[in-house]
Amino acid sequence: MSDSASEPASEPLPRRTSRATFDQLFAEGAQALADGSYGIQEVPTEGDRRWGVSALLRPNSRAAASLETLAREAAAVAGDGHWLTGAVGNSHLTMRALEYPRDDVGDDDPCVARYADALRAAAVGVRPLTFEVTGLTLTRLSVMACALPLDEAADRLSAAYAQALGPDAWLEKEFHREIWYLNLVHFAAAVRDPQRLIGWVAERRRVSPIRLHVTEVEIAAWRFTGTGMTPRRLAATALVLA
């Protein structure tokens, strides 16, 4: 799963549309790059805390192509060896992480079957989702695209899915996601010129909005391809117009 900004909560709450969290992430990420304390991604193994089976929103092809362009520009500034998480085949918004990484996730996995059943129940009557990517930010681990939902549908679907999962919602039960985002580049090596990358992102804190449409929700596991983590589809549910 992608890294997220979260805080303790007793129950699922809607994600916020304020830019305050993205601004905070930029400040923290810029400081980490400046002082060398930024994180380095490693290929996940069973028992790690991230990149387990997740429920993902995949952008439409036009938006994905625009995001890949930004991702490749960011990677060129960051230098060699980083993960191109924003490539067309990898690009995603994480709606919910469902479990930690494990090696035995098959197409007939009983946990995945439950996740898919809950997703179908939560998605009844939900239309396709629309976001706008409004700019970029930094985190301690990545260059990130900031996405804002254009209505409440995405937040409502996320909350409905948490409820439909029941006990299977355990992984994110004690915190809520404050933002919708797409990571473009994960740092997986030394950043070539940290100050240059900070400046490059700072100049793109606002970009011409990229309209992003989501027509289905995907349950996916993750695999490393050499240049980043790619989702392997296990199940999906379409979001259809009423």
Query: Which CATH number characterizes residue 232's domain?
Result: 3.90.1140.10
Asked if residue 8 belongs to a domain, the reply is no
Single pTM value for the model:
0.91
The C-alpha atoms of residue 89 and residue 70 are separated, in whole angstroms, by 14
Asked if the structure places residue 147 within a domain, the reply is: yes
Question: Is 3 contained in some domain?
Answer: no
How many domains is the chain partitioned into structurally? Answer: 1
Confidence band, pLDDT 50/70/90 cuts, at residue 66: very high
- Does residue 32 lie in a domain region? yes
| Residue 204 token pair | 């793109």
Residue 33 counted as domain residue: yes
Q: Tell me the pLDDT tens digit for each residue of 175-196.
A: 878 899 999 999 999 999 999 9
Query: Is 9 contained in some domain?
Result: no
pLDDT score of 196: 98
For the residues 69-74, what does the mean pLDDT come to? 98
- 209-224 as b/e: b if 16+ CB within 10 A: ebebebbbbbbbbbee
Domain that holds residue 151: 14-238
Domain-located, residue 6: no
Whether 5 is in a domain gets the answer no
User: How many Cβ atoms sit within 10 Å of the Cβ of residue 116?
Assistant: 19
